[in-house]
Amino acid sequence: MSTISHIYKLGTAFDSFSKIEKGILKRSVIEGEKFSFSKEYKKQAEKLGHNERVLFYSWVDGSDFNRPETVGFINPENGQIDQINYVKQKIKIEVAKKSRSDKYDAFHNIRPRDERVNVLEIDTLFFQTNNSFFVIVFTGIPKMLRRVEKLVKRSLSIDDNYAIDADAMEFVWLFYASDENNGQLSKYLNLLDIEGFSGKLESTAKTNISSGALSMSKYFILKAFIALQYTFTGVKLELQLVNLQGKSGGILGFSFDNNNSVKVEERATVVSLFSSEDNKVLMTLFVYSFILPQLIKIYSAKHSLPDFDQNILEYHNKLGMDVIKMIIEKNPQLKLLGADMLKG
């Protein structure tokens, strides 16, 4: 089992929980979309009241933004307790039932609104870090995400330029670190395994590729992907955190992509880093507020080293040579063509 979420950064006008609450209260309900009726029921639908023909999205009452909850975790870099303030909030999304019998009765009448609607609840979480406010939306269904996003944008301003700052080179660096550095990213963070990836083939822009095989860094398809410098769009990692006493802080399995989406595995065992009870919400918050920023920070530090780009280029070349050798091993008739190349 896993928890899938998506993150948005709020506009600078929302610089406190109280302002977020005011924005939500001001626009707590919006018209989400219209009901879709069959052609033969169009005229009958036109006679319905406005609310009978519209689906609504709304914030659920109950959260207290004046008293946000706090979670603390031990920062392995300094041993201090880092505290994150957050507020949980639910959203109700009205969705039209799909079955024709749910929309129309046996006498060819449009059923009452309540009989045509399903109401789904989506969890969201607002939190503050580095003087900015964010909202996490807990859903992995693209259509539901678009509906929630519509309500969030109407109630609050969103920084449309915000994205998890991960580029193609950073994805390659993770594979490089796994192969060349035995997975040691820093003194406090070890990469145990890369279990899969997703990417885009440059020569056919609309073609995506993915793989979920274990230890992908050992597989032909990944070596070819990196050697050809195609673009990574997502990766699944298994990390081990180490605290200041050199003891394991637990293992965390999660994936992230360039669409600000994160999937956290429930098998995660990072419990000793938390100063309060662990659950899926706090684990996801931990990934967004600490793990991803740490990966970006480590990568940025490595990237500033004078020999980093050269090492990565050599890594590309090494994997490319591995791919060529594997192809020739499977196709002996190509040996004569590639004899000189393989000397390297």
Per-residue model confidence as pLDDT tens digits over 213-251: 444 445 677 788 888 887 788 888 888 887 655 566 678
Q: Pick the more confident residue, 208 or 304.
A: 304
Backbone φ/ψ region at 183: left (φ over 0), alpha (ψ -120 to 50), beta: left
Which residue pairs from 273-276 have beta carbons closer than 8 angstroms and sit at least 24 positions apart in sequence?
273/73, 273/74, 273/76, 273/241, 273/243, 273/249, 274/71, 274/72, 274/73, 274/74, 275/71, 275/72, 275/73, 275/74, 275/81, 276/71, 276/72
Helices (H), the chain: 17-26, 42-46, 100-103, 142-155, 168-180, 220-227, 280-286, 292-303, 308-330, 335-338
Least confident window among 12-16, 49-53, 72-76, 273-277: 273-277
Residue range 318-338: mean pLDDT, rounded: 75
**Residue 216 confidence (pLDDT):** 47
Q: How confident is the model at residue 202 (pLDDT cuts 50, 70, 90)?
A: low
Q: d(Cα 175, Cα 181) in Å, to the nearest integer?
A: 10
Q: Is the pLDDT of residue 195 over 70?
A: yes
Percent of residues, the chain, with pLDDT higher than 70: 81
Q: How confident is the model at residue 252 (pLDDT cuts 50, 70, 90)?
A: confident
Whole-structure pTM value = 0.83
**Residue 58 confidence (pLDDT):** 97
Digit-coded pLDDT (tens) for 40-83: 999 999 999 999 999 999 999 777 888 898 887 767 667 677 78
